Structure 1
Amino acid sequence: MATSAKPAAVDDLDETQTRMLNQRVDETVAKAGTPPQFYRNTPHGKKPQPKQLSTTASAIVHYLATSFSNYAVSVLTAPQTLFHDPFGGMLALIEFPFVHIAMWIIWCFFVVAKACGGDKLWDWFSTQYGFGLSAVNMLDPELLYDTSVKQVHNTARKSLSNAYGLPLAPSQVKTFEYEQDEQVTPTRFFNLDIAKSLLILCALVYERDDKLVVEADKVARDETLDPTSRRRQVSKLLLRSTRTVRSRARQWGLNFASISDFINVGGPFCGMFYPASGDERWIVLAVKGTSPDSFSDILADAAISHQNADAFFGGGNVHEGFYASLAPSAEADNDPYANIIYGLKHLARTMRKGSGEKVNLWIAGHSLGSAIASLLHARLLFSPQDLGPDLVLRQGYVYGAPRVASADFISRFDFAASQPFGDTTRSLWRVIDRWDIVTHVPPGLADQEANQDILPETSMLNYGHFGIGVHLTGVTARNPAGWEIEQGSLRGGSRMQIVELEKDPLQELDSQPSGAADRDLTPKTMTILGYTFDPIKAAKSALQLVGPLYDHFPSNYWMRLGLVKADLEVRQSDDPPRTDA
């Protein structure tokens, strides 16, 4: 069977990125510019100066000053707010002081920890006991290193090239589409294999070394270095920062390329996973979530004021911190969304050479990354022409998403997601692990359609989720399937099924956790006051006592997805469709 031109290999793409970076650094040396992955389309010809929130006094002062101004407005308007929105008004008066005092305390903790060498201590602990992984993954390193993970990705790849996210052979597609057209109510398919694969990729992007990215930014601004030296150092640092991510992706037959940081350098960012070889045509855009040891990530989560989204989304309000991470303001000097679109188009053009098929784009994120990923999906749903001629938006899978938007925005999204009627190829699946606390913040009542008409647009309770909520309940006597649809989230006159590829016994065995890993994961112990224990196991046991917090970790989502029973198993076959009754 003839195959089309295969995508560039990982190292080839890195060389391409490096050449682009080198050229653009040369062009901006006079302006002391930053590495190209940090900005694009600088407005008004101003020198790029990405916002870099950190544990410095200026960051917390800026945050508190902005928040205090919002709080002052709430107080000044409290009489009328308490009249037409009593619960929202009271929440505004109580929530602002509580959140901001908490931010001040957390900032003090980070400053003291850094002054006492906390960064170096954490790096030592991670290397010595946590297998060199981030805080998100060190408790369950098997999620990235179990030998069964490769089979999980191999199974999902059979569906990622299909518009419906189903493992259909070419001979099966026309029959399936005919059956879909014959249905009065269209069916949306949640692919369990894809959900597992994308969750692992969301966990993997936490393993970028953000310190090297920050260092690269500093080098790029160092006017004392000659252009050649600066170019070489920046390129090397950026490639080293994603070495772990690219190495693991290669083990699974995937390539990875980082595209753009968001509001701050070295914080949330997104990257692209795509097949390393063959004729598959798909890209997974994965957005990194909140790192527990990153104060800047926590600041983005805590910016709970509403932000008018007319300019970027055409209507509604969204969470200020999430909006600022993605959409540029009039005063912004960097444009993360433009970086993302540029990177996607560049890769899609390379992948599509020699093939008439468009490249499928799948979007995924966890925690803060799920909020940004949801907004990305919404923007591309509203404005698909942004992707150009080589890409087409498919489905999104987000895990542990907080409430993001107002009722007006949610209604706009629901309308766009159901157009045209019967098109089920662009669903946004919002996966919720049991009692995950992040999925309940900020407080809001806009989830339910019945509340959306009565909530004032500026109410603090006018927050809700959008997308189809799939609640992972675990297997219970009441719910043996291990999942349920979130009430009120499946709108637009459709129904859903959870599907997976039908596997033979050997494939089923290969996709189960094997207990074997392709690196040494033997726990290491420490001794304190004569007591010897495994610090990682102790930390995990302590965290499990706080169920709603532990339920937010990717490893717990992985465990719950493993308990889900699919409604339908699809057999992939290249045999001609049967015509007999």
Structure 2
Amino acid sequence: YIVYPLFAFVLIFLDIILRIVTFLGIDTSTKSVGEWNGLTKTKLDDIVRRGTVILGKPFISYVDENNGDGNLFKQIRNLKIDMVETLLLLASILYERREENVNEAIKKIKGFENKAIIQEDILYIRDQLLISEEPIRNQVKKWGIKFTSITELNSLGGPYAGMFWSTKGNFIVVGFKGTTPAYFSEWLADFMIQKIDARAYLYGQVHEGFYTSLFPEDDYAASKLYRRSPSLRLIEAIRGKAAEIKNYNKTINKTDPISLWITGHSLGGGLATLFYTHLLKNPKIVGEDCIIRDGVTFAAPNVGDKDFAAYFSSQSNGSFEPTSTLWRVVAENDIVPHISPSYIHPRLSRFFKSIDVLNYFHIGEEIKFHFDGSLPTSTRPIFETENYFYYEKRSKLTNINLTKVDQIVVDSDKFLYPYEKYIPSFFRNHFTHRYFVSLEKSRHHFEALENYINDNCK
């Protein structure tokens, strides 16, 4: 009796804000990632150059097979700030697709209901979609990366999924486009709380809108041997591209498997979470040429119930040294990731029945970044030494963070969006460039940790 009216009030309030923004003619379009150089002391090109090297590196194992020993702390060293920021940049670039060209293609497709399809129509649609992707392809080309969109995710003109790859870099990144600031329908998808049985492809019950964007909607379709769905289209694209990269690797006598990463922001983060879960449940589905690496989501809403979360944890804990981790990056005061009782504490799940509308819980390892440059908080001991049981070690490391490396000072409100200061922080901090600012302000912690590890933990 309380939950639905409360959510309705929130959605009405959000709709009013977006209508005011539209009426005033304020430009809410995502600025080009190329304009983000003013948000960092280092050049974006340098960040991506280092990040793509990390994306293509083989998984670093810290298990001593001869002695049956391993260091769980050292596994966390595979998480690097340049890698996280590179994935954020790729997730952000997905917003730069030219929607006017996509709409032209959609208009042509809808016209097929009344006439036969001819070759000229197909070529027109292809050309419009290629033109729509030009801003993305032109930007990532500078970084030695290629891009193509893969699927419209059972919708037209809304969220979509694309693939970035580097043949020489030996990696593939599948990215999901998130919530456009002024698109009420996409914000609505973030806040919807209706669930659906997801056991045909995942676990438990999950967000209905996200699930039906990726998988067949009904059980009958899900049980067919021939199951056409966006998730299958993505897997086909991954396998095909991995085979191409493998053929190139043969020419240079390279035997490393192709690293596969998954990312997305906002609504795209929710979709990325479900797709990544599907891959972890069926790791062989991507073929023997790929190794599933990490999923890194930004501002992702909660997507499943407590059974979904419990089974995901069981899957993630099935290996002593997992090569795949779901990292959930959260900026402080961002409203979307916080709409969940599990955000207060995961143990609250015991008080919710499966039919409860608030039976939604986050999965993966959370990293929360702060805009004051303070130490990020996380569910895994990222900023602790391998002797993290000794608090003096952590204290020493924290002191190094605060004294040896200067924090970056950025006022994004004045740099990119002059109107930002008028937007409530719980909406403002949902923007991708705000996530980049929070990451950059925490860079000195990662750099100090890396320096400390290199000096003391080899």
Partner of 1:238: 129
Partner of 1:316: 204
Alignment check: 8 A CA contact 1:144 1:204 kept: no
Q: Which amino acid aligns with 2:376?
A: W
- Seen in structure 2, the aligned counterparts of structure 1 residues 149 and 347 have a Cα distance that, compared at 3 Å, is same
Q: Distance in 1 between matches of 2:311 and 2:239?
A: 26
Partner of 2:2: 94
- Seen in structure 2, the aligned counterparts of structure 1 residues 547 and 109 have a Cα distance that, compared at 3 Å, is closer
Partner of 2:402: none
Q: Distance in 2 between matches of 1:239 and 1:191?
A: 33
Alignment coverage as a number of residue pairs:
412
Q: What are the superposed Cα offsets for residues 362-408 of structure 1, whole Å, 9 maximum, x if unpaired?
A: 11111111111111111111111221222221001111111221111
Alignment check: 8 A CA contact 2:106 2:156 kept: yes
Alignment check: 8 A CA contact 2:34 2:139 kept: no
Alignment check: 8 A CA contact 1:143 1:200 kept: no
Alignment check: 8 A CA contact 2:309 2:361 kept: yes
Alignment check: 8 A CA contact 1:446 1:462 kept: no
Q: CA deviation at 1:548?
A: 1.9
Partner of 2:86: 197
Q: Which amino acid aligns with 1:553?
A: F
| Alignment of 1:137 onto 2:31 | yes
1:420 to 294, 315, 319: 319
Whose Rg is larger? 1
- Seen in structure 2, the aligned counterparts of structure 1 residues 570 and 385 have a Cα distance that, compared at 3 Å, is farther
| Alignment of 1:269 onto 2:136 | no
Partner of 1:250: 141
Q: CA deviation at 1:535?
A: 12
Any residues of structure 2 matched to 1:433-448 within 5 Å, and which? 433-441=331-339, 443-445=340-342, 448=345
Give ranges in structure 1 of 5+ residues lacking alignment: 1-92, 127-133, 165-172, 500-508, 516-533, 574-580
1:463 to 360, 370, 376: 360
| Alignment of 1:347 onto 2:241 | yes
Partner of 2:399: none
| Alignment of 1:550 onto 2:428 | yes
Partner of 2:439: 561
Any residues of structure 2 matched to 1:375-386 within 5 Å, and which? 375-386=274-285
| Alignment of 1:539 onto 2:419 | yes
1:396 to 292, 295, 303: 295
Partner of 2:70: 183
Q: Distance in 2 between matches of 1:463 and 1:144?
A: 38
Percent of residue pairs identical: 25
Q: What are the superposed Cα offsets for residues 27-66 of structure 1, whole Å, 9 maximum, x if unpaired?
A: xxxxxxxxxxxxxxxxxxxxxxxxxxxxxxxxxxxxxxxx
Deviates more, 1:219-228 or 1:195-204: 219-228
Q: Which amino acid aligns with 1:283?
A: I
Secondary structure, in 3 states, of the residue corresponding to 1:430? Answer: strand
Q: CA deviation at 1:357?
A: 2.7
| Alignment of 1:149 onto 2:44 | yes
Q: CA deviation at 1:334?
A: 6.4
Give ranges in structure 2 of 5+ residues lacking alignment: 222-226, 386-404
| Alignment of 1:289 onto 2:183 | no
The answer to which structure, 1 or 2, has the higher relative contact order (CA under 8 A, 6+ apart) is 1
Alignment check: 8 A CA contact 2:39 2:437 kept: no
Q: What are the superposed Cα offsets for residues 137-176 of structure 1, whole Å, 9 maximum, x if unpaired?
A: 3799325998811111111122112343xxxxxxxx57x5
- Seen in structure 2, the aligned counterparts of structure 1 residues 461 and 537 have a Cα distance that, compared at 3 Å, is closer
Secondary structure, in 3 states, of the residue corresponding to 1:324? Answer: helix
Q: CA deviation at 1:104?
A: 7.0
Q: CA deviation at 1:271?
A: 1.0
| Alignment of 1:328 onto 2:216 | yes
Secondary structure, in 3 states, of the residue corresponding to 1:137? Answer: coil
Q: Distance in 1 between matches of 2:117 and 2:353?
A: 56
Q: Distance in 1 between matches of 2:365 and 2:410?
A: 32
Alignment check: 8 A CA contact 2:152 2:161 kept: yes
Partner of 2:329: 431
Q: CA deviation at 1:222?
A: 3.5
Secondary structure, in 3 states, of the residue corresponding to 2:450? Answer: strand
Partner of 1:25: none
- Seen in structure 2, the aligned counterparts of structure 1 residues 570 and 257 have a Cα distance that, compared at 3 Å, is farther
Alignment check: 8 A CA contact 2:63 2:321 kept: no
| Alignment of 1:364 onto 2:268 | no
Q: What are the superposed Cα offsets for residues 73-114 of structure 1, whole Å, 9 maximum, x if unpaired?
A: xxxxxxxxxxxxxxxxxxxx223234346657877999x99x
Partner of 1:50: none
Secondary structure, in 3 states, of the residue corresponding to 1:312? Answer: coil
TM-score normalised by the chain length of structure 1 = 0.63
Alignment check: 8 A CA contact 1:211 1:266 kept: no
Q: Distance in 2 between matches of 1:183 and 1:560?
A: 33
- Seen in structure 2, the aligned counterparts of structure 1 residues 405 and 446 have a Cα distance that, compared at 3 Å, is farther
- Seen in structure 2, the aligned counterparts of structure 1 residues 102 and 434 have a Cα distance that, compared at 3 Å, is closer
Alignment check: 8 A CA contact 1:446 1:455 kept: no
Q: Distance in 2 between matches of 1:438 and 1:352?
A: 39
Q: Which amino acid aligns with 2:352?
A: L
Q: Distance in 2 between matches of 1:440 and 1:446?
A: 6
Q: CA deviation at 1:571?
A: 11
Q: Distance in 2 between matches of 1:209 and 1:430?
A: 28
Q: Which amino acid aligns with 1:483?
A: P
Secondary structure, in 3 states, of the residue corresponding to 2:157? Answer: coil
Q: Distance in 2 between matches of 1:452 and 1:352?
A: 44
Alignment check: 8 A CA contact 2:159 2:176 kept: yes
| Alignment of 1:158 onto 2:31 | no
Q: Distance in 2 between matches of 1:211 and 1:292?
A: 16
Q: Which amino acid aligns with 2:151?
A: S
TM-score normalised by the chain length of structure 2 = 0.79
